[in-house]
Amino acid sequence: MIGAPYSYPAKASFGRIIPKNRIYEHGRLGKALRERIKAQVDRITWAAKLAPETTNLPEAQGVQEIQIIELTQRDNDLDTSVLLAIDRAIPKPTLFHLRYRGQVRMAAAYKRPSEADRSKWVIGEHYLGDWYPENGDRQALPIALDLQGLYEQLLRGLLPHPARPGESIAAHLERVEAIRRHERERARLDAKLQREKQFNRKVALNAQLRTVNQHIETLTA
C-alpha cells in the first residue's frame, strides 16, 4: 500500500473553502479544463498549513510552508490536469487529500522554485497513493529537521519505488519518472507485438522488449 494519509497537528488545521472561481481566475483556465473541474470536483478545502509556527520546524531551501488541500470528488475519476491547475494557482508546495465515498487518498507533485525566475514554480508529475478508509488510522508525520526534509519525505511516501541509499529527492524522482517512461514503452511494444503477424517483425519487437525490460530492472534494482 502506498501513501497512507497523515494526522496533522491541531494547530495546523485551517478548514477554509476555496471557491473554484479563485482557481479559474488565477490560472486563466480554458473552458474545457474549467468544465472538467466542475464535473469532477465537488469542493476544494484549504485543510491545513504545515509551517514553522504549526510544526516547530524551520524553513529550508525555499520551503516556507506546505499546504494541505482537500478535494471532494464527484466521481472516482480525477484527471491529473485538475491537480495541476490547482497546483499552479498555489505558489507553495502542496499535498492533496482526495476524498470519495468514505475513502481518502494522497496525491502530490514535486514543486520547486524556478532557477530562471524564483517567483515561478516548476511542477513535476503527480503521484497518487492508494485508497484508504476515511475514518481509518492515520500515520504520524515523518520525523524531519526542517520543512524541506518534511516535504521530501511526504513526496517519497507517494513514489512507487523506494529511494536508494543516499539518493536525493531530485535523483529519486528522475529515476521513478524514467521507470514510468519505460513502462509506457513496454506497454506500447506489448500491444504492437500482439497485433504483429510477421515473424521477423515479432523477433525485432521481442528484442526491443528485452532491452526495455533490462532498463526497468536496472532502474528498480
How many whole angstroms separate alpha carbon 40 and alpha carbon 76? 8
pLDDT band at residue 144, thresholds of 50, 70 and 90? very high
Over residues 197-220, the pLDDT tens digits come to: 999 999 999 999 999 999 999 999
Torsion angle of the four alpha carbons 6, 166, 218, 156, in this order, in degrees rounded to the nearest 10: 10
Q: Return contacts of 117-122, CB within 8 angstroms, 24+ apart.
A: 121/87, 121/88, 121/91
pLDDT for 176:
97
For the chain, what is the largest distance between any 2 Cα atoms, rounded to a whole number of angstroms?
Answer: 66
pLDDT for 77:
86
Of the candidate ranges 29-33, 35-39, 101-105, 113-117, the one whose mean pLDDT is the lowest = 113-117
How many whole angstroms separate alpha carbon 3 and alpha carbon 21? 29
- Mean pLDDT, the chain, integer: 94
**DSSP code of 188?**
H
How many whole angstroms separate alpha carbon 103 and alpha carbon 100? 5
| 114 φ, ψ (degrees, to nearest 5) | -65, 140
Q: Pairing state of beta strands 132-133 and 103-113?
A: antiparallel
Torsion angle of the four alpha carbons 208, 211, 212, 217, in this order, in degrees rounded to the nearest 10: 160
Give the sign of the dihedral formed by CA 178, CA 182, CA 187, CA 191. Answer: positive
- Grid cell, residue 10, equals 491541531
Spell out the domain ranges in the chain.
6-158, 174-220
Cβ 141 vs Cβ 150: under 8 Å: yes
pTM strictly above 0.75: yes
Of the candidate ranges 14-28, 52-66, 176-190, the one whose mean pLDDT is the lowest = 14-28
pLDDT for 132:
97
pLDDT at 135 > cutoff 80: yes
How many whole angstroms separate alpha carbon 57 and alpha carbon 66? 11
How many whole angstroms separate alpha carbon 197 and alpha carbon 25? 52
pLDDT for 27:
65
pLDDT for 16:
94
**DSSP code of 66?**
E
Give the sign of the dihedral formed by CA 130, CA 134, CA 139, CA 142. Answer: positive
Over residues 70-101, the pLDDT tens digits come to: 999 998 889 999 999 999 999 899 999 999 99
Over residues 26-36, the pLDDT tens digits come to: 767 889 999 99
Over residues 146-197, the pLDDT tens digits come to: 999 999 999 999 999 999 999 999 999 999 999 999 999 999 999 999 999 9
